[in-house]
Amino acid sequence: MSEYRAPVADMMFALVEIGGHAANDETLPQILDQAAKLAHDVLAPLNRSGDVEGSVYENGAVRAPKGFKEAYAKFIDGGWNAVPCDPEFGGQGLPWTVTMAISEMWHAANMAFGLCPMLTLGAIELLQHHGTPAQKKLYLPRMISGEWTGTMNLTEPHAGSDLGTIKTRAEPRGDHYRLKGQKVFITWGEHDMAANTIHMVLARTPKAPPGSKGISLFLVPKFMVRGDGALGGRNDVRCVSIEHKLGINASPTCVMAYGDNDGAVGFMVGGENRGLEAMFTMMNNERLAVGMQGLAISERAFQRARAFARERVQGRDLNGGNADVPIIRHPDVRRMLLTMKAEIDAMRLLTYYTASQLDRATGTPDEAGRKSAQVRVDLLTPVVKAWNTDLGVEIASLGIQVHGGMGFVEETGAAQHWRDARIAPIYEGTNGIQAMDLAFRKVARDGGKAMAALIDEMRPDLAGEAAPALSVLERATSFMAQAGRDKPALVAAAAAPYLRLVGTVAGQFLLNRQAGAAARRMKAGKGESKFLESKSALAKFYAANILPQAEALAAAIIKGGGEIAALDEAAL
């Protein structure tokens, strides 16, 4: 099996040229190098063994696979959990772009492990925005350090993405509430790696209105927390089982029971009946993080496939010669590897670009600049989540294909990447939901103005041969904005190919911008020539082999959606 090596050079180039980081920042390469060391030395070796062993459920307790608890201790000892968090509560206050880069390493090395701190960061972000001063003071320092982990509790057995139908109840009891109900698909809902787990739980108060307007949010600790931060007794919340899954087997996906006895003690966060508003802070954080997972698992699958293609000797070189050659010299294998590499670069650039807009939305001095950046974040979040994770599954599948028959054998490790990748298009809102969010809330609602602003930014980098693809995106956006006024079924039917179109064109935009930066460095004699030349080559490959999909996607948007909407379900 190949080892995972974080692509630090690619990350640095993207952070500087697309993420806006200073090229002379001496701390950034040090951070990336140290993160890469932890990913390679500690997390990656546990990926295969954790998949085989899985988390173990016994009498309400969950034990992480061998080595995970020790790895988590090294993770928090290194301060990695605190990277983007508020310094007031022990965080390091570093940009989200840096967080995305190092998080890519955690998930590429060991996606099941990476899910635990990923959920904790989302819970921290939620509390930082919506918690009371007392809640922040009591919970944030230990969550930011990683001493305590966090979870998201939305889904119930009868209610998947339709949160308006949840039934978990919260009865007021003085300064707290007592919760009763069951939640499913709770990632790292119970485990032995941290001293406490802080659950963020959606529930209804007694007089709550029906539907999503009647949802409140509650902080429910696994162990009660005293005023000085010390742990008290066990709260009335327990794990009743863990799921047996296709992938991410080392990550326990729990069924959580709240209030088997007197009711689980919970504290309201964000105000009564305003739970979804608060929870969406965490959900949007997680959606960007899940998009990063699609990127990460793609990088890991690519590295494994590339290593195999260099080692596997089979078949003659079509350019001549009598000896068998490594399969990387065969055109179809090269096509697959180049597709993987070009799409990975495009995903990384889009993820870091969106994270840089998030940094601008919180750090730009003028209000207009912050609002403009936040609009861009809102526009691109569903694209990062859905486009990246769809490609993650496709790229992991290509990785298996490069291996041939050996890819279908678990021992090579290629199959695990596909199995792990397959959850990402489903959780944090299926990719169909992300597409409808983009189509209705981000395009139709404002008549396409936010997308038009992005298109205007793309235009200088998509001149020449790429210009027709930009025109295609403009035409499709106009169609979606107009249809959104009175043809919702048509927009919903066309939403998924529209999101794919946005991601595909945005990928070319950023690859071209990266290639331009590489050319400037080449001219100035700064940087390793083969690395810089590869950036131009990837942009050209993408333009010739992937960007032509834009025309077909536009046809599916403008013509195909009507056929879907018109089809009688009896014909299925």
Q: How far apart are CA 506 and CA 514, in angstroms?
A: 12
> Do residues 381 and 373 touch, judged by C-beta distance below 8 A?
no
H-type helices in 364-439, by residue range? Answer: 367-403, 414-421, 431-436
pLDDT recorded at residue 162: 82
Rounded CA-CA distance 194/357 in Å is 33
Alpha-carbon 444 to chain mean position: 25
Show the low-confidence residues of the chain (pLDDT under 70).
1
pLDDT the model gives residue 1: 62
Helix, strand, coil distribution of the chain in percent, nearest 5: 60, 15, 25
- Tell me: the pLDDT tens digits for 248-295? 999 999 999 999 999 999 999 999 999 999 999 999 999 999 999 999
Please report the domains of the chain, with CATH numbers, ordered by start residue.
44-78+110-273 (2.40.110.20), 430-572 (no CATH)
Summarised one tens digit per residue, pLDDT across range 67-96 is 999 999 999 999 999 999 999 999 999 999
pLDDT at 546: 98
Contact yes or no for 217/270 (Cβ under 8 A): yes
Beta-strand runs (E) in 248-401: 253-258, 264-269, 313-316, 324-326
Task: Determine how many CB atoms are found less than 10 A away from the CB of residue 246.
Answer: 11
- What is 62-79 written as a DSSP string? EEPPTTHHHHHHHHHHTT
pLDDT at 563: 80
* Residue 180: φ, ψ to 5°: -135, 130
C-alpha pair distances (Å), 77 with each of 71, 117, 536: 10, 13, 40
Residues facing 61 on adjacent strands: 58
Of residues 171, 428, 474, 528, which has the active-site annotation? 428
Q: What is the pLDDT of residues 128-181, one digit of tens each?
A: 999 999 999 999 999 999 999 999 999 999 877 888 899 999 999 999 999 999
What is the spatial distance between Cα 49 and Cα 64, in angstroms, rounded to a whole number? 11
The answer to whether residue 70 is catalytic is no
Separation between Cα atoms, residue 405 and residue 314, nearest integer Å? 13
